[in-house]
Structure 1
Amino acid sequence: MADKRPRCYAVIGAGSWGTALAVQLARRGHAVRLWGREAAAIEAMAEARANARYLPEATFPATLAPTADLGAAVDGADDIVVVVPSHALRACLDALAPLLAPRQRVLWATKGLEPETALLPHEVAAQVLGVERPVGVLSGPSFAGEVGRGLPTAVTIASADAVFAADMAAAFHDGVFRVYTAHDVIGVGVGGAVKNVLAIAVGISDGLGYGANARALLITRGLSEMMRLGVTLGGSRETLIGMAGLGDLLLTCSDDQSRNRRMGLRLAAGDDVPTAEAGIGQVVEGVRVAREVHRMARERGIDMPIAAQAYRVLHEGDAPQAAARRLTERPYRSEVE
């Protein structure tokens, strides 16, 4: 049975999602050290008792302590929660590795693929931290702002170590933040990566005024693409039609809180990628991940036409209208694969 007593956690990454998860842990009565690299920003958070830049609506509970000292954040913590973009995960784990005690376990809330290698987060973690340390992933349909405001949310925590998954579920779970546990880190990782690319495609479609029918088409067939890739890599179909797959896909495609959806809307309106990302003001994971998903699909012979067209708009300069036309002009086929 998972230990539900108050514990101490280090949350590494003080963006919107890292802050939201730190606040949720602190609401549960745990001592939480929220680490960010910018000392001035951390000092401002400590004074305001909120992250005014990324999550102003979430007041810090008394047990949440911001810090810019990574060693101090990690020292004595029961477990570590890493919340950084996928392109920064390896560097973050490299910095953490020499600071970790043998008993400390690592959970990440990173969604994406490593640039150039296309490695899933659990593969990066294995290379940096080794295969003996218990690790896991938190993912699922969750906007940081809603978690920060204490609105109902459900996520999945997956780990090959069932005890670790249960411990972390007990740490986060309460009456409004529900946690499901799983062992399929591959399926959870694929769902968290691919849904961002598909959300950009849906944003483009909606931005071009193609309507609700087209949105439903892209989400449904996008799920098929996600499942093809996930199963090929060793993930479970059940995972991909669950919270961390279909659930996250629906959320990210359907609401303008999603940076990836907003990227698609801006591209449809005529922005180029750098202009759109600058306007959004935060990392848009799907932009980088689209390149890696496209390469993986091509190398493995996996049919992912929606992801392919998103890649062509993002990285080859294709017009959104042309990409949409290539999808609609595809020949008919059986829906059952």
Structure 2
Amino acid sequence: MKACILGAGSWGTALGSVLAWNGWDVSIWARRSEVAEDINLRRRNDRYLPGAVLPDGLKAVVGAREALAGANLVVLAVPSAAVAEVLPLLRKLDDHVLVVHAVKGFVRPDNLRVSAWLEREIPGIERRLAVISGPSHAEEVVRQMPTTVVVASASKRVAESAQDAFMTDRFRVYTQADVIGVELGGALKNIIALGAGLAEGLGLGDNTRAALMTRGLAEITRLGVALGASPLTFSGLAGIGDLIVTCTSEHSRNHRAGRLLAKGLPLSEVLDAIGMAVEGVNVTFAAEQLARDCGVEMPITHAIARVLTGDISPSEGIELLMTRDKNHEMEVVGVQPLTAEFRLP
């Protein structure tokens, strides 16, 4: 069993480690030669996961084609902004290769979910494509702290194959058929994590954070339902589970970015300080456009977008949300079946 991980960042390295612990021969594609050297010679990836010790079954390769050679499973773990760059590699894969994407963002400028974009660019890939998401900080996964995630696919066979590949006694994997909901939950929670970081940076308390998370989940669900997801998916691991961990953890890059923005740093300096992809930034702008297209109200997303562009300050963003017209809490959404059926065998 050979797996290739496209992307040697924190999440790609953690997922590669899980597969290696599960007996897979794992090649991870690293763009930076120093990262590959760190992995191969010292069993570390201190640029992205400082202090973590990596399994022997994980090796890094600088050449993507070499990493892909002979792979039965390919994990797409690059930032959303780099998905288009690896498209030529994915197009060359044999039809039997299982593809699992772990990208929690949208492909811009089309603002498409990653699986939707891949299905458009590689017709038929949905028959061997799955998405993995859930509350799973790489820093804890790589230290084998108990973690639960979900894999979603249009195909029951594909979902269960991905489940078998990743399932360990420290990494529990559930299956799902609601690909849209799982992808949207994993991406949109980054917006609310930015907001939680902003609130903490302003010195606001637990009441504010709870309000942001709860009302954030409401607007995530509104947009998700409008785009074809089941609202019940957002009460699961890819929804509220990922939202909680990203809004409350010191490991969250989006949360850290929000805290830095609250200090008055411009967005460009915040991104330089983080040094890794902050998916919430592009996700915010993509979600705002999708909300406009669908006629969905997303006040938190709108306020954070204005903070990111510098139109308003973080404190003005809070004021904007708190002085909105009064409203009823329970929005009406169309409730779909608890478990969507797999469309493909």
Give the count of matched residue pairs. Answer: 330
CA distance in 1, matches of 2:10, 2:112: 24
Q: Is it true that 1:18 corresponds to 2:25 in the alignment?
A: no
Equivalent residues of 2:8, 2:29 under 8 A apart: yes
- TM-score normalized with structure 1 length: 0.95
- TM-score normalized with structure 2 length: 0.93
Point out 4+ residue stretches in structure 1 off by more than 6 angstroms: none
- The structural deviation recorded for 1:316 is 4.2
CA distance in 2, matches of 1:168, 1:58: 25
Q: Is it true that 1:110 corresponds to 2:103 in the alignment?
A: yes
Equivalent residues of 1:205, 1:214 under 8 A apart: yes
Give matches, 1:144-223, under 5 Å. Answer: 144-223=138-217
CA distance in 2, matches of 1:120, 1:316: 27
Equivalent residues of 2:193, 2:243 under 8 A apart: yes
CA distance in 2, matches of 1:93, 1:245: 28
CA deviations 1:67-97 (Å, max 9, x no partner) are 1121121121111111011111122123331
RMSD: 1.2
- 2:238 counterpart letter in structure 1: A
Q: Is it true that 1:122 corresponds to 2:152 in the alignment?
A: no
Q: Secondary structure of 1:164's match?
A: helix
- 2:158 counterpart letter in structure 1: F
CA distance in 1, matches of 2:247, 2:284: 15
- The structural deviation recorded for 1:334 is 1.0
CA distance in 2, matches of 1:231, 1:128: 25
Q: Partner of 1:270 in structure 2?
A: 264
- The structural deviation recorded for 1:60 is 2.6
Q: Is it true that 1:284 corresponds to 2:258 in the alignment?
A: no
Label 1:163 to 1:57 Cα distance change in 2 as closer, same or farther (>3 A).
Answer: farther
CA distance in 1, matches of 2:189, 2:144: 24
CA deviations 1:187-207 (Å, max 9, x no partner) are 011111110011111111121
Q: Partner of 1:9 in structure 2?
A: 3
Q: Is it true that 1:134 corresponds to 2:144 in the alignment?
A: no
Q: Is it true that 1:238 corresponds to 2:221 in the alignment?
A: no
- The structural deviation recorded for 1:315 is 2.0
Q: Partner of 1:3 in structure 2?
A: none
- 1:278 counterpart letter in structure 2: D
Equivalent residues of 1:94, 1:128 under 8 A apart: no
CA deviations 1:25-67 (Å, max 9, x no partner) are 1011111111112234313321112212112333232221211
Give matches, 1:24-35, under 5 Å. Answer: 24-35=18-29
- The structural deviation recorded for 1:164 is 1.2
CA deviations 1:274-330 (Å, max 9, x no partner) are 111111111100111111111111122101000110001012431111111010111
Q: Secondary structure of 2:107's match?
A: coil
Give matches, 1:295-334, under 5 Å. Answer: 295-334=289-328
Structure 1's unaligned 5+ residue stretches are 1-6
CA distance in 1, matches of 2:232, 2:189: 16
- 2:270 counterpart letter in structure 1: A
Q: Partner of 1:4 in structure 2?
A: none
- 1:279 counterpart letter in structure 2: A
Query: Percent identity at matched positions?
Result: 41
CA deviations 1:148-169 (Å, max 9, x no partner) are 1110111110011111111111
